[in-house]
Amino acid sequence: MTALLSRYTAVPPKGKKKIPAELIGIQRGEAMLQLDLRSRQPIYEQLIEKIKELIITEVWRTDDQLPSVRALAQQLTINPNTIQKAYRELEREGFIYTVKGRGNFVAPIDITMHREKLAKIQEEIARLLAEAMYLGMTKEKLMHLVHQAAEQTGGEQQND
């Protein structure tokens, strides 16, 4: 297991000198959680997306400990209830698990638990592909996007 991740620091996005007032981020090595306070998307949903991205791209690996609610709320200067809501949703979706008195950790991938979610994603992808092709996107461009996504997530894994 990883040591506590409470050593987060506020950092600007790459290539920027100052953090714009509407953007707040924290970093652990290369892991960056950046929230846009001006976005119409709720903060807890932004946080869920960023944490999922870190888990999917294996920046945070199975059994890595997530920052505590209190520490993350302090670093991001947002309400701890917002962090807790995001963590509860991530746990409900199977991305993290909680150990009483210890904290929140990245959950191991359990394919049987995710079968229903995978089916929904496949339906959504099929719908989006049909719409993209209707709007004129070529099969080659779609395949390029698939290969690009596979590279970003560390390769092609067979989960069927």
Which domain CATH number covers 44? 1.10.10.10
What region does 98 belong to: left with phi over 0, alpha with psi -120 to 50, or beta? Answer: beta
For residues 100 and 120, state if they share a domain. no
Under the banding of pLDDT at 50, 70 and 90, the label for residue 118 is: confident
Q: Is the pTM of this model over 0.75?
A: no
For the cut 50, the answer to whether the pLDDT of residue 12 exceeds it is no
For residues 77 and 127, state if they share a domain. no
pLDDT at 10: 38
For residues 50 and 87, state if they share a domain. yes
Q: Which domain holds residue 126?
A: 111-152
- State the total domains in the chain: 2
For the cut 90, the answer to whether the pLDDT of residue 26 exceeds it is no
Beta bridge partners of 97: 105
CA atoms within 13 A on the CB side of 93: 15
pLDDT at 14: 47
Burial class (CB in 10 A: 0-12, 13-18, 19+), 126: exposed
For residues 144 and 98, state if they share a domain. no
CA distance 26 to 5: 11
pLDDT at 156: 58
CA distance 105 to 91: 9
pLDDT at 27: 46
CA distance 44 to 73: 11
For the cut 50, the answer to whether the pLDDT of residue 93 exceeds it is yes
- Write out pLDDT tens, residues 33-62: 888 888 999 999 999 999 988 888 888 889
Q: Is residue 157 part of a domain?
A: no
Beta bridge partners of 105: 65, 97
For residues 87 and 123, state if they share a domain. no
